[in-house]
Structures are given as structure tokens and as C-alpha cells.
């Protein structure tokens, strides 16, 4: 066993619980109800009840189920919503900024400009005065999500147990989501608010600058990662020239989609939405599955090696989008570096909540460490 493998995550039977928030939910329903009374028609008298934490996947925003009844036009209305809530600073959030207004606007525009199945967004609370941090409400969608914990390719779940034809239907339909998003006419203009005001002459260079800043934010809490330093040096020295920029979903993986009959009914989690070349999204989808396959290989599990293969994704994307994507090597290294930063932040949070002890080196926090090392070696990153 290599050092990378010995520092990898615990075996499948271990407890994968990750605490995301120290928020006391006791006053949340009343607080939301008071706020809704100011945005609903006069005399609505909303009543709010809170369900469980929906956020079985993901490691970032708080996601709460919110049921609301109110009076409008003399009739009782009932709504089933999801609240996306920015985490509090004291809970060591993954990102330095959650840009919830940008997320809200991105989802709204995607719903208007495409047939992509995004939830309808309803109301935005940008000030943080109601719950302590900003949040927005969107319609709740019913469907199934491929699990992250334990990963879907570990077995014993609806996607793993599906037939190859069903799995391929889900795969192709999800690649189709990317094709639709990237085909939005003048997407770079409509979503210009997602382009960060940081150094760089192109959206991709600015994207990389923001990632560098995000890494330094993570370093401040937990220390430097030799692997991420190595990866960023190589990425910054080899930024590809991108002739076209499109709306990129960002966290483009099947764990952020709700499905009904293996068809997307809810495309979720827009925290990483940006402008850039289409390869950002395509490579992320490929890489996300590679991470999970890397884990099953280490644990000598069968995994799903015929699912979400790069060649198949590229071919389906070219068929649906009418565009061939370029080489994905740089973009997969970039995805691997970003995943490493996520693990730095979630590791810092686990330390904060007493779930783990600090390992001997920061890189030991990376569930994909061996894969990141392999990608850096393959691309000649010094």
C-alpha cells in the first residue's frame, strides 16, 4: 500500500457524517414566517414548518425543507420550498463568499432561457438579518439523487442496481444538461455577473485567480498543501487559450441532480457557476466519477467502470451540442486541485467540530490524493 492509499478515507463501513452547521433551528420557522409576511401580499399571515435537513449530498450550503401556508385572495395557499442558506463564518464554510444573489439570478435565468429542469426560485433574502446569513427559497422538487455518502458506485442503491440501459439513459440525459446550458445564446453576456472582478485577461484566467484566492483562504485555517501548490504552479504556467466562453454550471456532477425515471427533474447547486470554456463542465463530470472509482479500486470493490467514461461523455456531448470538446488534461488537473481545496475546508470544519484529529500533513485530508498525484505526474507538473 502506498502512502497515498494509507492516508485515504476510512473504509465503507465507517461513519461518514459531516456536520455542516451549528445553527439552532428552533427559531428558524418563526423568523422565516415574519420575513415572508413582508414579501407576500398583505394579510397573508404565513405559517412555516421546517422539515429535516435535505443536504445528504454536498458539503457546503445549508439546505432546509420549508413548508408554508398562507392566505392570498381569500384562499389558503400551500407551498413546499427549499431554503438555500449561506453558512455562518464560525462554521468554517467551504467558500469565502457564497454570492447567493448570483446563484438566485443564475437559476432564474436558466429557467427562463432553457428547458433545463431547474427549480423555480421564489424569494431572496440578501441581508442576513432574518437568519443571520442570506438565503433564498425555491420550489421543492421530488426525485432521487445518486448518493455521495456512501458513493453511488459503492453499491446498494438505486443507480448501482439499475440496468446498463437505465444508467446510460441517466448519463446521456445529464450530458444533455451541459449541452443545453452551453448553447444559451450570448450566454457570456446574459451571465456576465458571474465573471469575477479579479486579475486575468480572460474568464478562465480570472477563474483561476479566484481559485488561487480560495486556496489562500483555505491555507489560513489549516496550512499549505504541497500538492495544491504544485498543481497551481502547473495550471498557472499552462493556461489554455479559450476562444469561446459559455455559462458553466460549475459543480457539474450527477450528485447535484434529482432524477425521475433516470431523467433530470432538478439541476441543483449553483455555487460554482461561472463563465469559461465548456471543457470546465465536461471535465468536472468526468473527474467526479473518477474520484469515486479511485476509491472503489482502493477498497477492491467492483465500482462502475463502464459508467461516465470520458470517451462516452465526449461522444454524447458532441452529438447533442454539435461541438467537439478539446483536450481535458488541464481541466481535470484543475478539477482535482479544486476538489483538494474543498477537502481542506471540510477537513478544517471537521477539526472544528471535533470529528477528526489533525493529520501529520494537509494532503492526508484528500480523499482523491492518489488520483491527484497521478494527474500531476502524467502532466509533468514539477
Q: Which residues are catalytic?
A: 251
Handedness of CA 323, 324, 330, 332 (dihedral sign): positive
User: Strand pairing partners for 327?
Assistant: none
Pseudo-torsion of CA 126, 273, 217, 231, nearest 10°? 180
Q: How far apart are CA 335 and CA 315, in angstroms?
A: 21
Count the neighbouring beta carbons within 10 Å of the beta carbon of residue 357: 7
Q: How far apart are CA 208 and CA 198, in angstroms?
A: 10
**Is 82:71 a contact under the CB 8 Å cutoff?**
no
**Is 127:298 a contact under the CB 8 Å cutoff?**
no
Residue 282 corresponds to which cell in the numbers above?
465536461
Q: What single-letter DSSP state applies at residue 2?
A: -
Surface-to-core class of residue 303, CB atoms within 10 Å of its CB (0-12 exposed, 13-18 middle, 19+ buried): buried
Residue 65 corresponds to which cell in the numbers above?
425543507
**Is 255:148 a contact under the CB 8 Å cutoff?**
yes
What is the bridge-based pairing of β-strands 62-72 and 75-85?
A: antiparallel
User: Does residue 176 sit in helix, strand or coil?
Assistant: helix
Question: Where do the DSSP E strands lie in the chain?
Answer: 47-53, 62-72, 75-85, 121-125, 135-139, 246-248, 257-260, 263-267, 274-276
**Is 359:217 a contact under the CB 8 Å cutoff?**
no
Q: How far apart are CA 65 and CA 211, in angstroms?
A: 31
Q: Alpha helices of 223-357 — where are they, by DSSP H? A: 226-237, 279-298, 310-321, 329-352
Count the neighbouring beta carbons within 10 Å of the beta carbon of residue 243: 8
Amino acid at each position: 500500500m502506498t502512502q497515498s492509499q494509507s492516508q485515504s478515507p476510512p473504509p465503507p463501513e465507517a461513519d461518514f457524517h459531516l456536520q455542516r452547521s451549528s445553527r439552532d433551528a428552533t427559531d428558524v420557522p418563526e423568523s422565516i414566517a415574519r420575513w415572508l409576511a413582508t414579501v407576500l401580499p398583505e394579510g397573508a399571515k404565513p405559517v412555516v414548518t421546517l422539515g429535516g435537513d435535505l443536504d445528504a449530498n454536498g458539503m457546503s450550503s445549508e439546505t432546509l425543507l420549508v413548508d408554508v401556508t398562507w392566505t392570498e385572495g381569500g384562499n389558503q395557499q400551500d407551498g413546499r420550498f427549499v431554503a438555500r442558506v449561506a453558512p455562518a463564518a464560525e462554521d468554517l464554510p467551504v467558500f469565502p463568499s457564497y454570492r447567493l444573489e448570483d446563484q438566485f439570478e443564475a437559476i432564474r435565468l436558466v429557467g427562463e432561457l432553457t428547458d433545463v429542469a431547474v427549480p423555480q426560485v421564489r424569494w431572496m433574502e440578501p441581508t442576513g438579518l432574518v437568519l443571520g446569513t442570506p438565503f433564498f427559497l425555491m420550489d421543492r422538487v421530488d426525485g432521487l439523487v445518486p448518493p455521495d455518502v456512501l458513493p453511488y458506485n459503492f453499491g446498494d442503491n438505486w443507480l448501482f442496481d439499475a440496468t446498463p440501459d437505465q444508467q446510460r439513459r441517466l448519463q446521456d440525459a445529464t450530458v444533455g444538461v451541459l449541452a443545453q446550458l452551453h448553447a444559451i445564446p450570448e450566454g457570456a453576456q446574459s451571465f456576465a455577473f458571474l465573471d469575477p472582478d479579479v486579475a486575468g485577461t480572460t474568464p478562465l484566467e480570472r477563474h483561476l485567480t479566484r481559485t488561487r484566492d480560495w486556496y489562500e483562504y483555505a491555507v489560513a485555517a489549516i496550512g499549505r498543501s504541497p500538492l495544491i501548490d504544485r498543481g497551481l504552479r502547473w495550471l498557472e504556467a499552462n493556461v489554455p487559450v479559450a476562444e469561446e466562453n459559455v455559462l458553466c454550471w460549475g459543480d457539474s456532477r450527477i450528485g447535484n441532480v434529482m432524477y425521475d425515471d433516470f431523467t433530470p427533474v432538478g439541476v441543483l447547486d449553483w455555487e460554482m457557476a461561472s463563465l469559461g470554456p465548456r471543457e470546465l463542465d465536461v471535465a468536472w463530470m468526468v473527474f467526479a466519477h473518477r474520484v469515486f472509482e479511485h476509491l472503489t479500486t482502493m477498497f477492491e470493490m467492483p465500482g462502475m467502470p463502464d459508467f461516465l467514461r470520458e470517451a462516452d461523455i465526449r461522444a454524447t456531448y458532441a452529438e447533442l451540442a454539435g461541438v467537439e470538446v478539446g483536450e481535458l488534461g488541464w481541466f481535470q488537473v484543475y478539477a482535482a486541485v479544486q476538489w483538494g481545496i474543498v477537502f481542506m475546508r471540510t477537513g478544517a470544519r471537521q477539526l472544528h467540530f471535533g470529528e477528526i484529529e489533525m493529520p501529520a500533513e494537509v494532503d492526508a485530508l484528500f480523499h482523491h490524493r492518489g488520483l491527484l498525484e497521478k494527474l500531476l505526474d502524467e502532466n509533468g507538473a514539477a
